[in-house]
Amino acid sequence: MSETFTIRRQVEFNHCDPAGIVFYPRYFEMISAVQERFFADALGMGWDRMISGTGMATPMGQIDCRFHAPSRLGDWLDLSLGVKRIGRASASFVITCTSGDERRFTCQATVIHADLAQGTSTAWPAQMRNAMTRYLIAKTPD
Amino acid sequence: MSETFTIRRQVEFNHCDPAGIVFYPRYFEMISAVQERFFADALGMGWDRMISGTGMATPMGQIDCRFHAPSRLGDWLDLSLGVKRIGRASASFVITCTSGDERRFTCQATVIHADLAQGTSTAWPAQMRNAMTRYLIAKTPD
Amino acid sequence: MSETFTIRRQVEFNHCDPAGIVFYPRYFEMISAVQERFFADALGMGWDRMISGTGMATPMGQIDCRFHAPSRLGDWLDLSLGVKRIGRASASFVITCTSGDERRFTCQATVIHADLAQGTSTAWPAQMRNAMTRYLIAKTPD
Amino acid sequence: MSETFTIRRQVEFNHCDPAGIVFYPRYFEMISAVQERFFADALGMGWDRMISGTGMATPMGQIDCRFHAPSRLGDWLDLSLGVKRIGRASASFVITCTSGDERRFTCQATVIHADLAQGTSTAWPAQMRNAMTRYLIAKTPD
C-alpha cells in the first residue's frame, strides 16, 4: 500500500500574470517545493544538509507537465507527490495538482542523485531508498 | 527551408540556487521569454496587444523538458525556437538552449490559442498561421 | 489598542542564492504576500476583487527596507504588518520579519489606492479605512 | 568627473502582474542585475569569483526605493548606477530607472562587503575601491 506526500499552497498575486491566471513557471517553483519538503520531511534528508554535508544534490533530469485548467488568485492548491520508479541513482516522481475536485496539472519528474563537485551520479544511500519505497505508486494491472 | 528564432541571455545571480547552478524553474521564465519575443517579433502579435486587444492568450498546454548539463553564473545561453506542428488552435514548439557548443536543455512546448473570457480554443488568424509556417522545422525522412 | 497581522513562511530552496542565504528580492515577494493577505483577510477586500470588481489597485509608492541578519534554508519566518499612517488615498505599513527571537528585516512601505485605468489616486472607502484603523500602531510618546 | 554604469532591459510578461504593470519585486531582480554587472564589468570582480574564490559576498544592508510611474509589457528600461558613498566595508549606490524621458523608480542601496563564513564585514580591497571611485556621483554644492 503506497503513501502520498502532499503540500497545500494558496495562489498569490506574485504567481499570476497579466491574463489573471497562474504564470506556469511559478508552478515549477511549487513543484520544486513539494520535492524539497518530500526530501526533508519524508526522506529525512533536507537539501541544505545534502548540499553542505555530503556535497550531493538532486538536479532535475527531465520533467514533463500537462496543464489541465488555469488557476486563479486565492485558489487553494494541493500538490501531491508519489514515487513512480526508483533507479540506482535517480528517481521518478508523479506530481499532481488539484484545487478541490479539479485537476490543474500533472507532472512527471526524474531527478538525479548527483555529486556536485564531480558532476557524476551516485547510488542512493540505503536509508533514502528505503524511505522512498513507502511512496511507490501501486502499479495497476494491465 | 526553415528559420529559427533565437534570443540570447546571460545567467544572472537571481537564476542560481544554493548549489551554484541555474534553478530549473528559472529556465521556464527564459522559455516563456523566447516565446514572448517570437509572438511579438516573428509573428507581429505581442502578448499585450493579444490580451488587451483581442481577449486572447496562449496558455501552455503541455511542456516536456530534458536537462543535459548545468548552467553557471555568467554563462551565455542561446535559446532557439522552431515550430514543430501548427494545429487549428494550437502550436508545438521545439526550444533548445545551448551555451557555446554545449546543449543545456531541450524542450517541447504546446500552447493553445485560447479566448480568455470563454476559456475556449480558437483557430489561429491566417496571418499568424502564415507567419508561423516560416519557422516550421523541416521533417527528416524516416 | 492595536492589532498586528502576521503570516508565517518557511524559507525554500527557491528563495536562496549561491551564497546559501535568502536572495533579498524574494523578501519583497513575502512582503507583497503579507500585504495581500492583509487586504483580503483583515480588510475584506482581496486584490482580485479589487482589480476586477472596482478597477482599483494598491501600487507601491515607496518602500524602505533594513536587513538585519541573513535567513537560511528551512528557517521559519514571521512577517508582521502594522499600520503606521492612513492617508486620504494612501497607507503606510511597518512590516517586520523575525525568525524566533532574531530580527531579519524591517520595512516601511507606502501604498497608493489608485484607479488603474485613470492612474489617479482615490480616497479609501470608509469600510476599508475603518478596518485599517484597528491595526494602527500605537504612537510612543516623545 | 563621474561615470555612470547602465544596463538596459525590456519588460517581459514574467515581470507583470494581474494589473498589467511590473510587479515591483521584479524591479529588485533588475536592481540586483545592475549591481551584478557593475561588480563584474566595472570593478572586475564577478560575484561567482568573489564567492567561490574569496568567500566574500555583498549582501544588501538597506535599500530605499521610490516608484514614480508604472512600467508596462514591452517597455525598455534603462537602469543606471552611480556610487554615492564608499565606506570601509560598505558602499552606497544610487540606482535610477527610466524609460525614455520618464523616471520609473529611484533607489538607494547600501551593500556590505562581508565574509560569508564569518559573517563579518571586511574592508574593500584597494583595487575594488579604486575602481568604484570612478563612479562616485559628484556632490552638488549646498
What was the pLDDT predicted at D1? 54
Structural contact between residues A123 and A112, judged by C-beta atoms closer than 8 angstroms: no
Residue D59 distance to chain B (closest CA, Å): 12
Residues 53..72 of B with a Cβ closer than 8 Å to A: which? 57, 59-67, 70
Give the number of other CB atoms < 10 A from CB of residue D88.
11
Provide φ and ψ at C14, rounded to 5°.
-70, -10
- List CB contacts (< 8 A) between B70 and chain C: none
Q: What percent of chain D has pLDDT over 90?
A: 84
Residue D130 distance to chain C (closest CA, Å): 25
Where do the H-state alpha helices sit in C1-142? 24-37, 47-49, 126-133
pLDDT tens digit string along D111-130? 999 998 888 999 999 999 99
- Average of per-residue pLDDT across A4-22: 94
- Average of per-residue pLDDT across D83-102: 98
Grid coordinates given for C116: 488603474
Residues 23..52 of B with a Cβ closer than 8 Å to D: which? 29, 32-33, 36, 40, 46-48, 52
Q: What is the spatial distance between Cα A18 and Cα A14, in angstroms, rounded to a whole number?
A: 11
Top residue of B21, B23, B72, B73 to mutate, by most chain D CBs within 10 Å, is B73
The HSE-up count of residue C86 (CA atoms within 13 Å, CB side) is 16
For all residues of chain D together, what is the average pLDDT? 94
pLDDT tens digit string along A104-120? 999 999 999 999 888 89
pLDDT tens digit string along C35-91? 999 999 999 999 988 988 889 999 999 999 999 999 999 999 999 999 999 999 999
Encoded amino acid at D28, one letter: F
Q: Exposed, middle or buried: residue B142 (CB in 10 Å: 0-12, 13-18, 19+)? A: exposed
Residues 84..103 of B with a Cβ closer than 8 Å to D: which? none
Residue C140 predicted with pLDDT over 80: no
For all residues of chain B together, what is the average pLDDT? 94
Q: What is the spatial distance between Cα A29 and Cα B92, in angstroms, rounded to a whole number?
A: 24
> Which range among A72-76, B48-52, B137-141 shows the weakest confidence by mean pLDDT?
B137-141
DSSP annotation of B34 reads: H
Residue C20 predicted with pLDDT over 70: yes
Residue C97 distance to chain B (closest CA, Å): 21
Q: What is the spatial distance between Cα C45 and Cα A28, in angstroms, rounded to a whole number?
A: 29
Higher local confidence (pLDDT), B5 or A49: B5
Top residue of D14, D35, D67 to mutate, by most chain C CBs within 10 Å, is D67
What was the pLDDT predicted at C1? 54
DSSP string, A49-73: HIIIIISEE--EEEEEEEE-S--BT
- Average of per-residue pLDDT across A34-48: 95
- Average of per-residue pLDDT across A53-69: 95
Which has the closest alpha carbon to A20: A32, A10, A11? A11
D118 shares contact with chain C (CB less than 8 Å):
no
Give the number of other CB atoms < 10 A from CB of residue D35.
23
Q: What percent of chain C has pLDDT over 70?
A: 97
Interface contact flag, D24 C57, Cβ < 8 Å: no
pLDDT tens digit string along B69-109? 999 999 999 999 999 999 999 999 999 999 999 999 999 99
Q: Exposed, middle or buried: residue A122 (CB in 10 Å: 0-12, 13-18, 19+)? A: middle
What was the pLDDT predicted at D20? 85
Q: What is the spatial distance between Cα D137 and Cα D142, in angstroms, rounded to a whole number?
A: 15
Nearest CA in chain C to A20: C48
pTM, full prediction: 0.94
What was the pLDDT predicted at B1? 54
CATH for the stretch A5-133:
3.10.129.10
Interface contact flag, A29 B25, Cβ < 8 Å: yes
Provide φ and ψ at B21, rounded to 5°.
-120, 165
Residue D142 predicted with pLDDT over 60: no
Contacts of C125 (CB under 8 A, 6+ apart): none
pLDDT band at A135 (very low <50, low <70, confident <90, very high): very high
Give the number of other CB atoms < 10 A from CB of residue B28.
24
pLDDT band at B2 (very low <50, low <70, confident <90, very high): confident
Q: What is the spatial distance between Cα B90 and Cα B111, in angstroms, rounded to a whole number?
A: 6
What was the pLDDT predicted at B141? 59
Residue D14 predicted with pLDDT over 80: yes
pLDDT band at D45 (very low <50, low <70, confident <90, very high): very high
Q: What percent of chain A has pLDDT over 90?
A: 84
What was the pLDDT predicted at C138? 80
**ipTM > 0.90, yes or no:** yes
